[in-house]
Amino acid sequence: MIVKAPEDTPASPAELLRAFLDAGVPEGAVSLVYGDPAEISEYLIAHPVVRKISFTGSTPVGKHLASLAGAQMKPVTMELGGHAPVIVCADADLDVAAERLSAAKFRNAGQVCIAPTRFLLEKSIAPAFVEKFQARMNSLKIGRGVDDGVTMGPLVNPRRVKALEGLVEDARAKGGKIWQAETPLPNEGCFFPPTLVLDPNLSMRVMQEEPFGPLAIVSEFTDLADAVKEANRLPYGLAAYAYTRNERTQRLLGEAVEAGMVAINHHGIGVPEVPFGGMKDSGYGTEGGPEALRAHTILKLVSSQHVKADF
């Protein structure tokens, strides 16, 4: 196995490989390379020793790598971008929903491909949910992850800060209401305040682009069919969430929402026992469960007819 390390977080995969060695994985079984992404990917994908490609990253890069692999007739697993919707129905436990959704939204400062970003709230409970969610946002302590008590760290680089600032300013200019948590930010570092975009409209960039940061968009609905339509509007289909006590609604949303992973009343989808992957522009293949093992094997038929020995 050859791991191409990301430029922004080079130490993380190095420590992972160190853990492999400590666990007894033979030296040389897993290699780690650093360098120019385009040069490395073009060389490795075309190399005859490489038989399978697995990529986690943005949709544009994933499509490019898949095309390189296709030219070599090599199988790929693609876990790409998302813009995860979450539907909160009027019968949901709002305290549980606010607690779990805030934890999922601001984990790793929102820099998680399956983080909920498009909050679709049934109109009758929207004000109550937003109030509870804002209280959770205000309780976050932002700082370096190694410091005691910190519950949300920085963004990966200054480019992400500028990208989020651009999304917020675009939303504000197009009529959105911006609410940001009162929790103080450190004076130095790539930090961004937990942010809500209220009263959004489809002209806003944030309604089309994955924010990949501590930013959530809050919309309201009165008809569940409209919520499902909005959840499925974008070409992404990685993860989706819903909160409802009604079992019929749970089954309906599980079938109707177009995502490779749909979690209802919880967020336990990123575990090794279950398939992890998306659909549409969020990729294909899986990185979890027994299905992941099949994705790294080649099916081969060997058929032999018995012939009586002539002796």
**Could you say which of 89, 113, 122, 258 is catalytic?**
113
CA distance 236 to 57: 13
- In the chain, the amino acid numbered 13 is P
Catalytic residue flag (residue 190): no
Q: Tokens 């012939």 appear where? A: 307
* Other CB atoms within 10 A of residue 8 CB: 11
Q: Tokens 């992890």 appear where? A: 276
| Six token digits for residue 135 | 């209280």
Q: Please give the angle made by the CA atoms of 261, 240 and 105, to the nearest 5 degrees.
A: 115
CA distance 208 to 129: 24
**Could you say which of 7, 15, 39, 79 is catalytic?**
79
CA distance 215 to 253: 24
On whether the CB atoms of residues 272 and 288 are closer than 8 A, the answer is yes
Q: Number of helices and strands (H, E) in the chain? A: 9, 14
Catalytic residue flag (residue 113): yes
Taking each helix axis from N to C terminus, what angle separates 94-106 and 126-138, rounded to the nearest 10 degrees?
Answer: 50
Catalytic residues: 79, 113
